[in-house]
Each structure stands twice: as structure tokens, then as C-alpha cells.
Chains A and B, each alone.
Chain A
Amino acid sequence: MELAAAKMIGAGLAAIGVIGAGIGIGAIFASFIQAVGRNPAAAGAVTQMTWIGFALVEAIALYALVIAFMILFL
């Protein structure tokens, strides 16, 4: 198989990793909505941790993206 074709396939496979981030972000905001729904007074305290959690999960998706770029261009 040519190197260019193998790179394309490798990058495509590496990009599948973002599924985990999709599930993770959905889980975070689902529990955020549930928590605020049950106890609206806790909204302030929970909001801060929600955004930190979101950024941490999104980082995993970006690791997958970086690996895909590395396969494609390096």
C-alpha cells in the first residue's frame, strides 16, 4: 500500500477517538442539567466545575485530533 494512502487511513481511524469525547461531554452536561433541575440553588457552585470538566473532556478529543494530524503530516 502506498504511504500516502496508509496515512489517510491512519488519520481516519485516529479520528474515531473523538466518539469518547462526545459521550463524555454529553454525560457532563446531562448531570449538570439534572443537578440544577433538582436543586436550582446549587447552580452557581456546579457551573464552575461543569466548565472545567468540559474542557478536560474536550482535551481528550483534541489528543485524538493531534494524533490524526501527526499521522497525516509527520
Chain B
Amino acid sequence: MAEGHSPLAQFEIKRLVPMQIGDIDISFTNSSAFMALAVITATAVIVLGMRRHAVVPGRWQSIAELAYLFVANMVRDTVGSEGRRYFPFIFTLFLFVLCGNMLGMIPYGFTYTSHVIVTFTMASVIFIGVTVIGFIKHGIHFFGFFLPPGTPLLMAPLAVPIEVISYFSRPISLSVRLFANMLAGHTLMKVFAGFIVSLGVFGFVPFLFVFALTGLELLIAFLQAYVFTVLTCLYLHDALHMH
């Protein structure tokens, strides 16, 4: 397992099954393998947990129900009752990001959410989807979103460009927030883990730090999945209700 000595070597994409269509490389990489694993894990937890569908849930069913209720409450509180039709997508998104972040915490695991192309693709799809939903619902009046109600018309030449720029910064901030959190956290863990062996006797100091940092990273993994999803719900609310 020649991982290399750099703490950034963990983010390297390795082709497991090389495949090509003409010039385009569509190999099955370690990133794809962990994405497939995340889908299988999330599906297994929910489907197998609900197998008994008892009225009084056992432990596994409680986990599945808790996850469902958590996201359902989030959607209802942020988007409102019209958000129910988007709940499957939001639930899938939440579980995909959560499982991606958590699978990276396994030693020698790969965090596919630590690659900006993955998070940017997700954020772009959300951004384009939410904008299209806004246009379908409000038609041309969706452009009124960029002039907040109550601003004097004199301020419009200043307010509208600022609103447009902040609207277009949403996919960038959404993707960079997730990817930078995962990248920074995992790099920090590998850097300090490298000190454990090299310090010899005093290696217990970086060990305790890595111990605490792992706990923090687990919290951040969950928190970033939650924030990604809740911001998606807020953008959806903006598109449906226009402030």
C-alpha cells in the first residue's frame, strides 16, 4: 500500500477499472467505488431498517425513521408545505453527502466530497434546478427576486447588481464550503498523524490531538452535510416564494 509520504496523497484518484470511450476517460475510480458504497450503505440502512415496519420501531427502524424525520422536518420548516414534492431529492442529497463525508473517516477510506469537481457538480445541478423551478413557477417575474421588496427605486442600480452577484456566488460558496472543510480536515489529520511516529516517546501528544481532531471531524462531517442540505432548502424556498 504505497501511499506516499505526502499528507495530500490520500486525495489521489486511482483508476480501479480503466475504461475509455474514444478520448474520454470513464474509468471506475476509487472515487466511483466509494460513491457506489455510499449509495449501497444508505439504501441498505433505509430499506433493511424498514423491513419489519412495526408500529413500535426497533433500533434499526428508529435510525431509518430518525433520518427521515430529520430531513422531512428540515424541508417543512425551511421550504414550507410546497416543498414536499422535492423531499425525495433533498433526502437523497443529504444521505449522499453524509455517507460521503462519513466514509472518508474510515482509515484508508476515500472522501469523494473532498474533490471540488464533485461538490461543484452537485452545487451546479442544485443552482440550475432551483433557478429553473423559480422560472417555471413565476415566469418572467422571477427577475423581481433581484430587487428586494421595499427598496427605493433610486437604489435599484446599486442593489440589483449586488443581488445578482450574490445569487451567482451561491453555487460557488456551497461547493467550496463542503470541499474545503473535507480537504482541510483530512489533511490536518494526516499531518498530525505523521508526527506520532516521528516523535517517538512524545508521540502521545499528537496522538491525543488526532484523537480529539477525529471527534471534531465526525461532527464536521455531519454538520457540513446538514448545512449543504439546509442551504439547498433555503435556496428552494427563495425560488418558490421569492423572499
A interface residues (Cβ-Cβ under 8 A, vs B): 51-52, 54-56, 58-59, 62-63, 65-66
- Cα A54 to Cα B226 with chains together (Å): 12
- Chain A hits for B173, CB < 8 A: 59
- Cα A62 to Cα B188 with chains together (Å): 13
Residue among A56, A65, A66 making CB contact with B227, cutoff 8 Å: A56
- Chain A hits for B176, CB < 8 A: 59, 62-63, 66
| Nearest 6 pairs of A and B residues by beta carbon | A62-B180, A59-B177, A55-B227, A66-B180, A65-B184, A55-B223
Apart from A55-B224, A58-B181: 18 A-B pairs, beta carbons within 8 A = A51-B223, A51-B227, A52-B227, A52-B230, A52-B231, A55-B177, A55-B223, A56-B177, A56-B227, A59-B173, A59-B176, A59-B177, A59-B181, A62-B176, A62-B181, A62-B184, A63-B176, A65-B180
CB atoms of A63 and B180 under 8 A apart: yes
CB atoms of A59 and B180 under 8 A apart: yes
- Cα A66 to Cα B180 with chains together (Å): 7
- Cα A54 to Cα B184 with chains together (Å): 16
B230 and chain A: residue at smallest CB distance: A52
Number of interface residues of B (CB under 8 A): 12
CB atoms of B177 and A62 under 8 A apart: yes
Main secondary structure of the interface of B (DSSP, over half): helix
B108 to chain A, nearest CB (A): 23
- Chain B hits for A56, CB < 8 A: 177, 227
What are 11 contact pairs spanning A and B, CB under 8 A? Answer: A51-B226, A52-B227, A54-B223, A55-B224, A55-B227, A56-B177, A58-B177, A58-B181, A59-B180, A62-B184, A65-B180
A66 and chain B: residue at smallest CB distance: B180
Residue picked from B180, B226, B230, most chain A C-beta under 10 Å: B180
Contact with A along B208-243 (1 / 0, CB 8 A): 000000000000000110110011000000000000
- Cα A46 to Cα B224 with chains together (Å): 18
- Chain A hits for B181, CB < 8 A: 58-59, 62
Contact with A along B161-198 (1 / 0, CB 8 A): 00000000000010011001100100000000000000
- Chain A hits for B180, CB < 8 A: 59, 62-63, 65-66
Residue picked from A62, A63, A66, most chain B C-beta under 10 Å: A62
- Cα A26 to Cα B231 with chains together (Å): 22
- Cα A69 to Cα B224 with chains together (Å): 21
